[in-house]
Amino acid sequence: MEMLSYSNVQIGVDYYPEHWDESLWEADMQLMKETGVKVVRVAEFAWSRLEPVEGSFDFAWLDRAIDALHRYGLQVVIGTPTATPPRWLTTGYPDVLPVFADGQTFHPGVRGHRCYNSRSLLKYGTRIIHKLARHYSGHPAVIGWQTDNEFGMIDCHCDRCNEAFRDWVQDKYKTLEHVNAEWGTVVWSGEYSDWQELTVPYGGSPFQNPSLLLDFQRFQWDSVVKFQQTQIDVLRAECPDHFITHNFHSYPQRLDMYAVGAGLDVASFDYYPNTSPNKQATTPYSGALSLDVTRGIKRKNFWIMEQLSGPPGCWMPMWRTPYPGFIRAYAWQAIARGADTVVHFRWRSAVAGAEQYWHGLIDHSNVPGRRFAEFGRLCYEVNALADKLKGTELKHEVAILHSHEQKAALDIQPQAEGMDYYENIKQYHRVLTKLGIGCDVIQAGEPLEKYKLVIAPSLYLLSEELAAQLEAFAIKGGTLILTNRSGVKNINNICLMQPLPGMLSRAAGVWVKEYDPVGGDVHTLLDGQGITFECSQWCDLLAPVTAEPIAWYNDDFYAGTAAITVNSFGKGQVYYFGTHAEEGYWSMLLAGLADKLGLLRFAGLPEGVQATVRSGENGSFLFLLNLSKAEQTVKLDKPYRCELTGAVRSGPVVFAPYGVEILGTEG
């Protein structure tokens, strides 16, 4: 297959030529080239420099910058500048500015001051993107575009959004009768008798009708997608040879990244693992999940568009400086989990503006130091392995189903103290990662044929289609793990009048007799071997129909009642977790399933060390990364070729803190 421009394995930097005196440019680019940098992202916040006053465009400075980058052999990705509308636009056309639920305007000064439905933003944003796209379409350095920057939910309540939301609802439900019926507005006398009565939910209160609140979320998701599509349309038309991406930021977030990602060629992620020693024990695992989530957006390799390069800070106190090896190891972690290009934020720390202490590779002094030296080593290593790694991918037999819809609905109505949709996913993913079992994190509804084991946390809103797909997966031999709070509601956030888990009861072979939202109260489970485990959050009291209990409650009035069951369903097995079991229980269960199902696994990992495999036509590459400050020893299962040194590795291998091994075998 022909590799696209975004498939190279390489290192880049974020660079803001407009922030620096032009006299610095050449030295900067010379050093980039010498260090081994291949890609530079530019211009995503430069609207005021590209169009200083309405209708007057100045691309000359950017031409000089991109021409210079090209001279040093650097490829360029341009960001569309809509995340920071300039002052002439917000002053002259204030409909650009979002309005919060309390009626306050979101004033400029901070980034992201733009209503996705604003007509002025659409008009002036489209115009400058059109001019930029046409201007740089043929430039030999330019390879792609980033839409906007770090889309987020603004929860705009402006008049235009009010109108657009009303149209959205009308488009979905056609008649007010239908709205009233599907949202259950009769409760608390909320029925609409005229379309003008229907507004965005002012006040921002979770007390409101949950069906309205969920549809308002969906409307906002669609607003972002629609807004981005106007940019994509222009870019596709003008720059058919360039790729388009967007840089998602930290998870969980309220965005529908699957819908945003659908229009893109490749997804990007802004990756800032926590540098605090107090948080480093959890950071490599939550970071691994973030990378797997990003890979799941388009179910293929991705970019890091901003990678941590120094201590972040600014409006918050600064974080700790990265420990020696931290920057290199985390960049390799990104690649190990499917990043092809890793762009570091940023070349040099800003001397002005609100991000002065979001440190770059080089400090304000412009004297390259310890961190830059480590970055140099990284560039060297990545360039050395770039050809081998190009085209390799991660292939997994386990999937966790993720859903921004479930998260949204569960955030609107928290179920129990301490119960958090994404934190639970973190636990399942962490257990798999510690066990050395690779997994994909994909949107619920994606095809499941390639997986042997699927974990489907809290399918709280359940459609008939999804229930049928999961049944079919199990019937054909798949192993499915369901958890409590599944099958509770239809997709309009209305409770189903069925015993739980509703449409999944047949597959699970179990009914929920009643439940106890135990929240933070810790209860215990007893498994078949008489071992006890802690559980919390929620306790479904299970009545198995065709399922077999495998763990029972050990406390309260329901001691002895089934808590976890397994059901043979077709050729497969369906587990149902009526409660949130502790990590130890999941570890025991998943290790057993790995043996039983013969799952690919790198066993014997010590705490903090992660293993993944990228493979392709060039062979297989086992990444072993010690993402801890402690020395660790890993026992290899067979001899490998060390790709960084060429030496052969076998038996016990000692990892220094933040030590990295890339071990090759034939494909």
431 phi and psi angles, rounded to 5 deg: -60, -45
Q: Are 472 and 571 in contact (CB under 8 A)?
A: no
| DSSP label at residue 105 | B
Cβ proximity to its own copies, 58 vs 167, nearer residue: 58
Question: CB under 8 Å to 497, separation ≥6 — which residues?
Answer: none
* Catalytic residue ranges: 150, 306
Among 25, 57, 93, 192, binds its own copies (CB under 8 A): 192
Spell out the alpha helix ranges (H) of 97-209.
119-136, 159-173, 176-183
Amino acid at 63: D
Cβ proximity to its own copies, 519 vs 604, nearer residue: 519
Residues in contact with its own copies, total (CB under 8 A)?
Answer: 111
Cβ proximity to its own copies, 488 vs 599, nearer residue: 488
Coil, helix or strand at residue 445:
coil
Query: 346: cis peptide before it, omega within 30°?
Result: yes
Does 185 interact with its own copies (rule: CB under 8 A)? Answer: yes
Least gap, CB of 322 to its own copies (angstroms): 9
Q: Which stretch binds its own copies (CB under 8 A): 362-370, 444-452, 577-585, 645-653?
A: 362-370
Coil, helix or strand at residue 621:
strand
Among 5, 170, 208, 615, binds its own copies (CB under 8 A): 208
Does 369 interact with its own copies (rule: CB under 8 A)? Answer: yes
Does 323 interact with its own copies (rule: CB under 8 A)? Answer: yes
Return the residues of window 96-115 that contact its own copies according to CB under 8 A: 102-111
Pairing, β 339-345 against β 266-271: unpaired
| DSSP label at residue 316 | S
Does 568 interact with its own copies (rule: CB under 8 A)? Answer: no
Does 276 interact with its own copies (rule: CB under 8 A)? Answer: yes
Least gap, CB of 118 to its own copies (angstroms): 16
Amino acid at 305: M
Among 4, 494, 597, 600, binds its own copies (CB under 8 A): 494
| Cα 50 from Cα 132, distance rounded (Å) | 9
Angle at 257 between CA 493 and CA 480, to 5 degrees: 65
| Cα 136 from Cα 78, distance rounded (Å) | 9
Q: Which helix (H) or strand (E) holds 102?
A: none
Least gap, CB of 503 to its own copies (angstroms): 13
Q: Which stretch binds its own copies (CB under 8 A): 70-78, 116-124, 274-282, 608-616?
A: 274-282
Coil, helix or strand at residue 270:
strand
Return the residues of window 71-100 that contact its own copies according to CB under 8 A: 81, 84-88, 90-91
Q: Which helix (H) or strand (E) holds 335?
A: helix 326-336
Among 73, 138, 140, 353, binds its own copies (CB under 8 A): 353
Least gap, CB of 187 to its own copies (angstroms): 3
Amino acid at 73: G
Least gap, CB of 401 to its own copies (angstroms): 24
Least gap, CB of 163 to its own copies (angstroms): 15
Which positions from 18 to 47 touch its own copies by CB under 8 A, shown as an x/- string?
Answer: xx-------------------------xxx
Cβ proximity to its own copies, 372 vs 569, nearer residue: 372
Q: What is the dihedral of CA 369, 362, 243, 613, to 10 degrees?
A: 30
Return the residues of window 303-322 that contact its own copies according to CB under 8 A: 311, 313-321
